[in-house]
A and B are shown apart, each in its own frame.
Chain A
Amino acid sequence: MDFFSSLLELHAGLLKREATASELADLSLQRIATLDDRVHAFLHVSANCVAAAAQKTETVIGRESILDGIPYALKDNMCTRGIETTCASHILKGYIPPYSATVAERLDDAGAVLVGKLNMDEFAMGSSTENSGFFPTRNPWDLERVPGGSSGGAAAAVAAGMVPFALGSDTGGSIRQPAAFCGVVGLKPSYGLVSRFGLVAFASSLDQIGPLTHTVEDAAIVLQAIAGKDERDSTSANIQAPDYRAALTGDVRGLRIGIASEYFGPSVESGVRDAVTKAIALLEQLGATVSPISLPHTEYALSAYYLIAPAEASSNLARYDGVRYGVRAADAGNLLDMYQKTRSTGFGSEVKRRILIGTYALSSGYYDDYYKRAQQVRTLIRQDFLDAFESVDVIVSPTAPTTAFRLGEKVHDPLTMYLSDICTIPVNLAGLPAISVPCGIIDGLPVGLQMIGRMFDEQTLLRAAHAYEQAAGMAPLRPALAMGVKA
């Protein structure tokens, strides 16, 4: 048993007493100790998680929760009471939240054991985890390459088998793109399905929490535990989560799959294109029908996103002012000076860049030309999807146009970095659910297949992804780094 085993296998092992919850927590700590000095996925490891697990197993034994006694980790933008939560930013160094995020509470209720907090691009702004204020995370498949971002720590930790699952957050692709780069499954649920209470906001109308796992079935199990109405999040949808695992029938006969040419533009590398094309062919063999669709406003999605997300961020990040929490610059004279020094030294350059863009887009005289127009474009993009879903059930595309790139390759060119999110961003603008599953390995690097579903139709999405995954026979993917490691 290791963390490439499925959650059901781990659960069965716990029930059969082949391992205890504290042994699993301990195993996680060992894996982290062995691997993380190379991967750098964790910002914080809870040394006392073994003791916590022991206590937990005693109190929850006999319950039917699959996650009972299963270790996991959280991206460091989800608040954990009593445990430092930094968003990988210097401005929140040492910040101990007074409360826990709803997702952390729900996983805790389900019996899962938190082993640590994961690295990310600062405040989730980035696609490579190089924007972490502390250190970059490396891709377990190739330590010279990025794990993607912003949930790079989460993808890398799962990919390297340090934890069986993790939660990330996705604002423009931040779960799916690192999942693709690291060869794991990443699910961004429909906006409103999972509570954002306790998720440190980047762009409130786009952010959504979701699982990173080795298999689609694991993603369904974790989603089950975290989905559903939360009275503390006004944008949380008032729907009862259906039984997601029951949807995994393996049968996609008659499923209508749409292919949008807009997602196969010239920026998509040929290797990625081939892998995705092969995956589509496999789905067809399984009995799905494939037809072309059009999402004509895709070309405007990136522009709209890079106005809306920074605009919301400029407001969401204004609270880091050195008054109530976080780090205050030491040598400030007056109040204005205190604000400016605190924020200028506390935030990294990408965060500052986006705050400035967002502030500009909202400032008087520019609101109509930028922010308002972007929100109108968003309406058109949603409508594109609604129209497409008249004739298809799932839309399939690459998750990212390339495989994992080298550290430092794009960090000095923000615009190019932004362009790598072209396939994932429209989904957030429309609030839809989407998943990335591994669909091949090129030159030793995983490729991700993205599937996009109808609003709140995670069942169909998971069914399609699961059927593909089973037929492709690739999951779980195990990078060479993780092979030689003995637990």
Chain B
Amino acid sequence: MTALETVIGLEVHVELGTKTKIFCSCAAEFGAPPNSHVCPVCLGSPGALPVLNEQALALGIRAALALNCSVPAQSKFDRKNYFYPDSPKAYQISQYDEPIGQHGFIEIAVGGEKKRIGITRVHLEEDAGKLSHSPYGDVSFVDLNRVGIPLIEIVSEPDIRSAEEARLYLEEIRSILQYCLVSECRMEEGSLRCDANISLRPAGQREFGTKTEIKNMNSFRNVQRGLEYEQERQTGILARGENIAQQTLRWDEATGTTLVMRSKEDAHDYRYFPDPDLPRIVLSAAYIDARRGEIPELPTQMRERFEREYGLPAYDAGVLTASRGLAEYFDQTAQRVRDPKSASNWIMGELLAYLKAAMLEIDEIQVTPFALADLIRLIEDGTISAKIAKTLLKDMLDSGKDAKTLIADQGLIQISDEGELRAIALRVLAANPKSVDDYRAGKEKALGSLVGQMMKETRGKANPQIVNRVILELIAGGE
């Protein structure tokens, strides 16, 4: 049997970070009491009419441009008609044949190689309400707060060839949109959602195989797991000589399997037509240029710059550009220290560990990039040791005070006075004759023990380089 190739396309929904809903002035807010952000427009009240939120349009266009789409001068809204209790008008205002963005792409790094994934289209639409179900299974409940939250849908070309690529694509989409301040893209809160189409075909064949659509993969990990599972499932079916059924499937995280939601026969007929309540969107070149001007340096560009300008390893550059906040934090720190790699080490090490433990975002901590740079410079000019600096950073994060204040408060300035260190060293050597003998007998490790004792005596304040030299001199001199 010939090798099979996996073909995946993703449909990603992203909530836009506006204050209000796309077609009315209700707050676009997560987690409010049920039906508390609802007006006649959200309620689908007879006679209520939609009016487009200018910021939703602007963010949508910015996103389309950041995803390298062409943005046509004109587009329009259409109605997508279907009955469902979460859809108060029984149609969703969406865009059908004239989306705001088309023919875009992003690049992902697969095994060190750059790969381009095409983006078919980006369109604006409104979100639906939220359904919950009674534990007895007899009734469901409808909360309309989410109705009308602005969304963009990003449809990829079927260019993705593995579950891992799908995850990488999704992560890249997330960081681009986060960088552009289009969306917070929190999958766990549903502000980023992903459906996938997946099919298999014999390697080299042009025609696509029969695809299935998978929904409900609500984390990056689950996107990869769900697609890996489905790829295996389809491989198994084809290996048995059977045919894939065109179906919509639901990823079930608990069992790690996909379940059938509906078959092709139930396919919807959405009866799209232009929404007569919303005039066509007409964009001037100046408007589109202005949106383009809002796009900051994107993660890929920033990664490359960090490697080029700061000489960072690719790994560091990747970790530090995972979010725009972190990347800017590093950028500002690195500009103020002698060795940017040390800034990278401090941020990737101490700082990220702290953020993870405290469950904080980088913009929520008390230590500014300037304060961290000051701390690193104190190490670089020998004022404090790296060990002291670690303790200091913890104090800084807890208290919000800067390094110099804390050093003054705690008397932590490094002892670099050779005379003072020599006196302490004489005491340490006298108290540890065995270590001295061991070192003389060729046990290099014994030196470490002696240095450790020095540090203990000075509560870590001794300048380690000088301590090393002084001890070696004294041992050599005592022979």
A contact set with B: CB distance below 8 Å = 77-79, 85, 87, 92, 95, 97-99, 101, 196-201, 203-205, 231-235, 311-312, 314-315, 318-319, 321, 323-325, 335, 339, 359, 362-364, 367, 371
Contact = CB atoms under 8 A, between A and B. Distances in A.
B273 A371 contact: yes
A137 B97 CA distance: 44
Interface centre among A204, A234, A367, A371 (most CB of B within 10 A): A234
A79 B85 contact: no
Contacts of A85: 46
Contacts of B90: 315, 318-319, 321
9 tightest A-B CB contacts, nearest first: A318-B90, A205-B276, A362-B271, A204-B276, A200-B46, A198-B47, A319-B44, A79-B47, A200-B47
Q: Please classify the interface of chain A as helix (H, G, I), strand (E, B), loop, or mixed, using the class held by over half of its residues.
A: loop
B318 interface: no
Interface centre among B40, B46, B79, B81 (most CB of A within 10 A): B46
B48 A324 contact: no
A101 B269 contact: no
B276 A235 contact: yes
A321 B83 contact: yes
Contacts of B89: 318-319
A92 B46 contact: yes
B43 A324 contact: yes
Contacts of A314: 81, 271
A199 B81 contact: no
Contacts, number: 102
Contacts of A87: 46
Nearest to A338: B85
B245 interface: no
B276 A97 contact: no
B45 A97 contact: yes
Given A234-B278, A318-B89, A78 B44 contact: no
Contacts of A318: 81, 83, 89-91
Interface string B54-92: 000000000000000000000000010101010011110
B50 interface: yes
A18 to B, nearest CB: 37
Nearest to B139: A335
B143 to A, nearest CB: 12
Given A198-B48, A319-B44, 5 more contacts: A79-B45, A204-B277, A318-B90, A324-B144, A362-B273
14 contacts: A92-B46, A201-B277, A204-B276, A232-B51, A233-B49, A234-B277, A234-B278, A312-B273, A315-B79, A321-B90, A324-B88, A325-B43, A362-B272, A364-B271
B326 to A, nearest CB: 41
Contact of B47 (A199, A359, A363, A367): A199
A87 B49 CA distance: 17
A97 B44 CA distance: 11
A101 B144 CA distance: 22
A201 B47 CA distance: 6
B52 A98 contact: no
Contact of A98 (B40, B49, B269, B272): B40
Nearest to A318: B90
Interface centre among B44, B79, B269, B273 (most CB of A within 10 A): B273
B142 interface: yes
A33 to B, nearest CB: 29
A401 to B, nearest CB: 28
B262 to A, nearest CB: 14
B34 interface: no
Interface in B9-40: 40
A314 B82 CA distance: 11
A233 B40 CA distance: 13
A324 B269 contact: no
A99 B278 contact: no
Interface in B270-298: 271-273, 276-279
A483 B47 CA distance: 38
Contacts of A77: 47
Contacts of B49: 196-197, 232-235
A38 to B, nearest CB: 30
A250 to B, nearest CB: 38
A318 B51 CA distance: 20
Given A98-B40, A234-B278, A234-B279, A79 B52 contact: no
Nearest to A366: B271
Nearest to B23: A234
Contacts of B40: 97-99
B51 A231 contact: yes
Interface string B244-278: 00000000000000000000000001011100111
Contacts of A364: 269, 271
A98 to B, nearest CB: 6
A85 B47 CA distance: 11
Contacts of A203: 276
Nearest to B35: A324
Nearest to A371: B273
A363 B276 contact: no
A97 B83 CA distance: 22
Contacts of B79: 315
